[in-house]
């Protein structure tokens, strides 16, 4: 950036230096107290010293609202960016990112996050701690699964996951009550449905806990150690309406198909308390009159109105 920038334009609010071949941004950036939008797309930023030291402590950290660094060479999210607590829009698409740092949760004001076109393999659960996030773009990465914690993004309107490696979605995604757009095209779940059953036998503690819960054995905090009282409070109800059981740590992971808009069937992950709860009709090869489809239609009737657009191809 040119020297004396802050002296020439002390009230500068928008700065666009995209496509200029920049390899670093100098300290002049720190002296722009009114800057709220910084666009530096399609440059060569990403090496050591690309961003000025002290960025998180400068007036810019409070004033900046929009930052676009897409089309650069960052291999990780610069820690200094995570100190820009006033950011509402952050774009790092088309870089060389392999992960999302858990500290992304510090950007409490973030409403728009674009990380498409990278090499990201996993989504940290901490991403769900962004209360204002409305648009999340993670397309064109190498993501294999979605953490169920994303259901905590209650403000989310649009979720772009196309062109990843997803084979299922967590059942909790139905809790995204304001979600209007879900983009999934180009994932294995769209072209081939999978069935995944895993089960670890329950421990003696879990068996005892299940008995206490299912038989409504009365107990008071004075009867048990605090650790066991907390453990019993973590019981999850088995979603099988014919079962009525509970589970703690040991459960069956299974794909369940949910119909959307009368056209698409999405494989969602759900959890059962034991293999005995697993229906032989869970396979996608069964006819449309199977019990599995009947159940999925009931579930879909609750959630279909929430997702106005499901883009699968």
Instruction: Give residue 260's Cα distance to chain centre.
Output: 21
Report the C-alpha gap between 120 and 249 in whole angstroms: 28
Question: Which domains does the chain show, CATH number per domain?
Answer: 5-195 (3.80.10.10), 203-238 (no CATH)
DSSP-derived letter for residue 198 is: B
User: Is 287 in a helix, a strand, or coil?
Assistant: coil
What is the token pair recorded at 137?
């773009």
Distance CA 84, CA 24 (A): 18
Confidence of residue 144 (pLDDT cuts 50, 70, 90): very high
What is the per-residue pLDDT across 269-281, written as a single tens digit (0 to 9) for each? 777 787 777 644 3
Average pLDDT, the chain: 81
Report how far residue 249's alpha carbon sits from residue 204's, in angstroms, rounded to the nearest whole number.
12
Buried b (16+ CB within 10 A) or exposed e, 140-177: bbebebbbbbbbbbeebbbbbbbbbebbbbbbbbbbbe
What's the whole-model pTM score? 0.69
Q: Tokens 């100098």 identify what position?
A: 26
Lookup: tokens for 170: 């967590």
* Residues 247, 273 contacting (CB under 8 angstroms): yes
Predicted confidence at residue 307, as pLDDT, reads: 47
Residue 42 DSSP SS3: coil
Q: What is d(CA 87, CA 194) in angstroms, rounded to the nearest whole number?
A: 39
Tokens 């999340």 belong to residue: 136
**pLDDT class for 283, splitting at 50, 70, 90?**
very low
Q: What tens digit of pLDDT does each residue of 19-45 get?
A: 999 999 888 888 888 889 999 999 999
The pair of three-digit structure tokens given for residue 162, joined into one six-digit string? 């196309």
- pLDDT value of residue 275: 75
Cα 313 to Cα 95, 167, 256, 308: the distances in Å are: 25, 16, 21, 15
The mean pLDDT value for 246-266 works out to 68
* pLDDT score at 286: 33
Of residues 4 and 8, the one with the higher pLDDT is 8
Q: What are the tens digits of pLDDT across the range 74-108?
A: 999 999 999 998 999 999 999 999 999 999 999 99
Strand, coil or helix: 255: strand
161: pLDDT strictly greater than 90: yes
Q: What is the pLDDT of residue 201?
A: 80
């Amino acid at each position: 950036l040119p020297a004396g920038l802050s002296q020439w334009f002390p009230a500068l609010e928008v700065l666009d230096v995209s496509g200029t071949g920049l390899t670093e941004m100098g300290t002049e950036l720190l002296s722009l107290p009114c800057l709220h939008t910084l666009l530096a797309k399609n440059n060569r930023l990403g090496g050591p010293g690309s961003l000025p030291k002290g960025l998180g402590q400068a007036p810019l950290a409070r004033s900046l609202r929009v930052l676009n660094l897409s089309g650069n060479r960052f291999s990780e999210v610069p820690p200094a960016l995570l100190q820009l607590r006033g950011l509402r829009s952050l774009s790092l698409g088309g870089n060389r990112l392999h992960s999302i740092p858990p500290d992304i949760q510090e950007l409490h004001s973030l409403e728009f996050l674009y990380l498409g076109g990278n090499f990201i393999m996993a989504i940290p659960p901490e991403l769900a701690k962004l209360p204002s996030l409305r648009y999340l773009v993670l397309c064109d990465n190498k993501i294999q699964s979605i953490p169920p914690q994303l259901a905590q993004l209650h403000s989310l309107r649009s979720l772009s996951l196309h062109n990843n490696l997803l084979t299922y979605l967590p059942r909790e995604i139905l809790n995204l009550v304001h979600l209007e757009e879900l983009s999934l095209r180009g994932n294995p779940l769209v072209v081939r449905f999978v069935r995944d059953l895993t089960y670890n036998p329950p421990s003696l503690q879990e068996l005892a806990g299940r008995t206490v819960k299912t038989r409504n054995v009365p107990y008071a905090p004075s009867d048990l150690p605090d650790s066991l009282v907390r453990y019993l409070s973590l019981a999850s109800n088995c979603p099988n309406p014919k079962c009525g059981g509970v589970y703690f740590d040991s459960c069956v992971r299974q794909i369940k198909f949910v119909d959307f808009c009368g056209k698409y069937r999405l494989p969602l992950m759900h959890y059962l308390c034991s293999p005995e709860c697993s229906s032989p009709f869970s396979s996608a090869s069964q006819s449309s009159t199977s019990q599995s489809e009947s159940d999925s239609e009931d579930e879909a009737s609750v959630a279909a109105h929430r997702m106005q657009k499901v883009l699968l191809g």
